[in-house]
Structure 1
Amino acid sequence: MTQALQDTARTSAHFAFDNSYARLPQHFFARQTPSQASEPWLIKLNEPLAAELGLDIEALKRDGAAIFSGNLVPEGADPLAMAYAGHQFGGFVPQLGDGRAILLGEVIDRDGQRRDIQLKGAGQTPFSRNGDGRAALGPVLREYIVSEAMHALGVPATRALAAVSTGQPVYREDVLPGAVFTRVAASHIRVGTFQFFAARDDADGVKALADYVIDRHYPDLKEAANPYLGLFEAVCDRQAALIARWLHVGFIHGVMNTDNMTISGETIDFGPCAFMDTYDPATVFSSIDQRGRYAYANQPGIGQWNLARLGETLLPLLGDDAETALEAANTVLKDYGERFQIHWLRGMREKIGLSSVEDGDLDLVQSLLALMQAQQADFTLTFRRLSHLAADGSAEPAFLGTFREPAAASEWLVRWRERLSLEMPSAAERAAAMLAVNPAFIPRNHRIEQVIAAAVEDADFSLFEALLTVLSRPYEEQPAFAAYMEPPKPEERVLQTFCGT
């Protein structure tokens, strides 16, 4: 690319950067220019998100391949790799950091919110630990699909702004086409970011980071009696609500390491994640989770464990002495469990059509889940078909057909209808409310694998586009895409997912 063309691209694709993280002390990050891609090609630009960020869509259509591959650093960017540590499957690593991700900078979106723009797979950084810093096409497409699906489902998550192929191979078990993923987040600060400074006994670094997080994400806490205790409480509550939402849609993160838990409360890092088909609380997809540490039902407890690690880093800020600080932190952690239960049960009530609170609601929900597990019922279809049944009794055969032994489900339906007799909303209102929280479409694993296979083997992105279209409206029926509602056939089942980007 000539200098003249570079200048044109900088002018036409303007990013209004205001890079506050880059103004923190130098040891918070390492400045790093992205590597060059040989033949970048723009696979996908998320035009609605680009509009939210105040970006020029037409300019990005022209110059997005160069920008989102890392070949062209937009004017005003201050590229850097963030430093952090983390517990990975319970074992502490004092230095991880962005080994294949480069933060271009921050923009203020049209709603006045600060958003990070980051390139994943843009080359080596000082934190790469002998890795190549690159990403393969398949994991890039997976992260694009799942992050946008989570957003459409109403689950807080990082977003996909663009996917670009690099024209260069990456070397894993096989030779694969390379790609770069552009991720947008409220921020990329993690529990592991705090751990990085605490592990070095850098009390000033922990405090500076906490002050920055309060200012950026929780400004109302600045006037609190103890802003740092308020910060810990706020992060715990956001994570309790987030993990409850994961369970409501059957999502399994797969790598809930402390470096994959954000302080903002967004879902981050869609590597070996997956959505359940058949309901089983012990479900694990991640190929590296050999002992089921991050199984579906373990996620709330792992969330609390991770937050305990955050609390440890904040102890010097939580009280006047060690005993007072520890007591305050433990109280917050205890409250996390109660908050999670409140968030989870509220959402489960909504999923089965309950708008009021009765003493037997928890048992009614747990009885349904136990039945679904014993009968190997599909998680998403069970609740979607129950939503239809709430308004139309003729939908009962379809609901019962979700179970191997329909008679067992019939017994639960008797209890459910008795409970609904205590509700005020009409049947039509109840069904509408249920359909708004029980999706018809999720990014089923076999569909994602079909997308990846078509793209990697045949450079065919039509399935990718179709799946994104379906998942952008997960709560609508979309008759033309009815096949996307169906669980996989036995030969289509995906039993393992893998880290990739």
Structure 2
Amino acid sequence: MPISSDFHPATRHQDLGEEFYDLVAPAEFPAHILRYRNQDWANRVGLGTLTDAEWIEHFGRFMPLPGSFRQPLALRYHGHQFRHYNADLGDGRGFLFAQAHDRRDGRLLDFGTKGSGTTPWSRGADGRLTLKGGVREVLASSMLEALGVDTSKSFSLIETGESLHRGDEPSPTRSAVLVRLSHSHIRIGTFQRLAAHGDVEGIQRLVDHVGRIYLPEVHAEGDAARAEKFFGAVCRRVAQTGGRWMAAGFVHGVLNTDNVNVTGESFDYGPWRFLPTYQPGFTAAYFDHNGLYAYARQPDALAWSLSRLGNCLLPLGDEALKAGLETALTEFGPALQAAFTDAVVRRLGLHPHGVERDTALAAALFSGLETTQAPFDQAFFDWRGGMAGPVSRSASPSADHYASPAFDPFRDAIAGYEPAHDAGLDHPYFKRKTPCSMLIEEVEAIWAPIAAEDDWSRFTAKLAGIGEMAEAMGNRADLR
């Protein structure tokens, strides 16, 4: 059937010019088995009426969506990887397949792929994605969205019938292609590539493009003024996401400059983890031997990446621009702290009481969590709504942790709070004894039956549980 008239396609990335991307062809896969389709977001972008067969044509064989790109674009960028500069990056196993506008708010969305075949930037790799990697990305993005983090959305996962060999998975392993929705795939590394080539005109063009399309607050005329406003807007958005990660207990794992984009949206989930308990030094990547991207070091990693972006913008102005960029960077830390505090209060389902009291509340909670090592997600679940919440903390699996004197400052602080009007405390989700969580042991337990028996029941059940949590917390796509 024809694509719905509710689908509003776009080709805005082509406005930048061919020097920003390479035209590529998708891989031809031996099989196409639909494993996941995000129906909420499909409805939201006007593609919800596609049959499964039509879905596979567009998101497995990559038949162009009407009105968008006639051929996929592999984007060009550089980046610092664990603070070592790499000029050989770029979309090596993915491409920008299409763009469209959100029916709700009109924002531009990218349909980006992972595992769609080789490109000029594959660096000798096969351009493929393991099925397990695709499953993990669906789980990570779904959980983060449910927790209110600004994240890319896993849109489609199709198993593709190939056997892949990997060093970090039992091989051979199954293959897949993922499509994710994101508000831009323009990264800090995109600017770094232009700076490395001395392309000042290209940097200005990219700043203007991003400001015009993605950052409505960037409206000043003139090179330096627009660059300063652009940088400030990116800093604020990255700060918001970083603060929400910390409240979610999320560890990204690879916060390289090519994994930080201009909208601040979290994306590209490889070796991610959620905290089991509050551990500042907790790392997600087995190869992060020095803990560069450990949980508590994520704010510093983001600030470092932003400083690299600021360096790219320096050629657009004079000392006044430099001073403005430095000011924006000094404001990043306080902005992230404010976003973290706000996210903690929201996750607790409380009505905010002002910066000072809310900051003290968050500090008391995390101090108690660190000292007692109470399960991270369980604590937020048990204290949802404050003292008036529906959960019986005395019957909680963490009751002994809460009885510790280390929790007394938090108990005293939260006593003065009331539930927020949208805390959802009457939702059936909050009648449970334990919350929905996404620890690594759970991920492995979901994958094991898929690998052994092609049993997807645990995967389906976990997504249903995440959906229930998202609904209870007011974070489902079809409710926003």
Fold shared per TM-score above 0.5 = yes
Contact conserved, 1:372 with 1:403, CA < 8 A, in 2? no
Query: Which one of the candidate residues 68, 71, 80 is aligned to 2:59?
Result: 68
Question: In 1, are the aligned partners of 2:39 and 2:48 still within 8 Å (CA)?
Answer: no
Cα deviation, residue 368, structure 1? 3.0
1:460–1:432 distance in 2 versus 1, CA, 3 Å:
closer
SS at structure 2 position matched to 1:472: helix
CA contact (8 A) 2:390 2:425 kept: no
Matched residue type, 2:412: R
For 1:79-122, what per-residue CA distance to the aligned partner results, in whole angstroms no more than 9, with x for missing partners? 11000111111111123100000111211232322211122101
- Following the alignment from structure 1 to structure 2, what is the Cα–Cα distance between the partners of residues 359 and 63? 53
* Partner residue, 1:462: 457
- In the TM superposition, 1:132-151 aligns within 5 A as 132-151=126-145
Q: Note the 1:284-303 alignment, pairs <5 A.
A: 284-303=283-302
Find the counterpart in structure 1 of residue 201 from structure 2.
204
Q: Secondary structure at the match of 1:132?
A: coil
Q: Which residue identity does 2:366 align to in structure 1?
A: L
**Residue 369 of structure 2 aligns with which residue?**
372
Deviation of the 1:399 alpha carbon? 5.5
The 1:447/1:238 distance shift into structure 2, 3 A limit, reads same
Q: Of 306, 323, 326, which aligns to 2:322?
A: 326
Alpha-carbon distance, 1:178 to partner: 0.5
CA 1:296–1:414: 2 relative to 1, 3 Å? closer
Answering whether residue 303 of structure 2 is matched by residue 310 of structure 1, we say no
What corresponds to 1:42 in structure 2? 34
**Are the aligned partners of 1:248 and 1:344 in contact in 2 as well (CA < 8 Å)?**
yes
2:343 is matched with: 347
Structure 1 unaligned residues grouped into runs of 5+: 1-8, 479-501
Displacement after TM superposition at 1:367 (Å): 3.5
Corresponding residue to 2:14 among 17, 22, 25: 22
Query: Normalization by structure 1: what TM-score?
Result: 0.84
Deviation at 1:238, TM superposition (A): 0.6
**1:107–1:62 distance in 2 versus 1, CA, 3 Å:** same
Counterpart amino acid of residue 458 in structure 2: L
Contact 2:235 2:329 in 1 (8 A): yes
| Deviates most, 170-179 or 80-89 | 170-179
Mapped contact 2:64–2:98 kept (Cα < 8 A): no
- Give the total of aligned pairs: 460
Q: Which amino acid aligns with 2:82?
A: F
Q: Separation in 1 of the partners of 2:450 and 2:131?
A: 8
SS in 2 for 1:279: coil
Cα distance, 1:473 vs. partner?
Answer: 2.4
What TM-score comes out, normalization by structure 2 length? 0.88
Give the aligned partner of residue 476 of structure 2. none
State the alpha-carbon separation in 2 of the partners of residues 358 and 266 from structure 1.
25
Report deviation, 1:49: 1.1
Shift of 1:451: 1.8
Q: CA deviation at 1:356?
A: 1.4
Write the distance in 2 (CA, Å) between the matches of 1:428 and 1:115: 31
Correspondences of 1:43-442 after superposition (within 5 Å): 43-55=35-47, 57-59=49-51, 61-70=52-61, 72-75=63-66, 76-77=68-69, 78-111=71-104, 112-173=106-167, 174-223=171-220, 226-317=225-316, 319=317, 321=318, 323-351=319-347, 353=350, 355-357=352-354, 359=356, 362-387=359-384, 390-391=387-388, 395-398=392-395, 401-404=398-401, 406-409=403-406, 411-412=408-409, 415-416=412-413, 420-421=415-416, 425=418, 440-442=435-437
Give the letter for the 2:12 counterpart: S
Cα distance in structure 1, aligned partners of 2:469 and 2:41: 18
Per-residue CA shift, 1:38-59, capped at 9, x if unaligned? 1111112112211111125333
Q: Is the 8 A contact 1:316 1:325 kept in 2?
A: no
In structure 1, the partner of 2:23 is 31
Amino acid in the other structure paired with 1:219: P
Which is richer in helix? 1
Q: State the alpha-carbon separation in 2 of the partners of residues 446 and 370 from structure 1.
A: 25
Q: CA deviation at 1:231?
A: 0.6
In structure 2, give the amino acid aligned to 1:261: V
Query: How far, CA to CA, are the matches of 1:433 and 1:340 in structure 2?
Result: 28
1:400–1:406 contact (8 Å) kept in structure 2: no
Which secondary structure state, in structure 2, belongs to the residue aligned with residue 44 of structure 1?
Answer: strand
CA 1:62 to 1:468, structure 2 compared with 1: closer, same or farther past 3 Å?
same
Q: Paired residue for 2:468, among 473, 477, 481?
A: 473
Query: How far did 1:471 drift?
Result: 0.5
Alpha carbons of structure 1 residues 401 and 98: separation in structure 2 relative to 1, 3 Å: same
Secondary structure at the aligned position of 1:254 is classed as coil
What CA distance in whole angstroms lies between the structure 2 residues aligned with 1:347 and 1:301?
A: 19
- How far, CA to CA, are the matches of 1:183 and 1:372 in structure 2? 34
Deviation at 1:347, TM superposition (A): 3.0
Cα distance, 1:44–1:400 mapped onto 2, change above 3 Å: closer
**Distance in 2 separating the partners of 1:30 and 1:366:** 48
Distance in 1 between residues matched to 2:97 and 2:138, nearest whole Å: 18
CA distance in 1, matches of 2:209, 2:101: 16
- Does the 8 Å contact 2:383/2:391 carry over to 1? no
Letter matched to residue 131 of structure 1: A
What is the aligned-residue identity percentage? 30
Change (3 A) 1:343 1:259: same
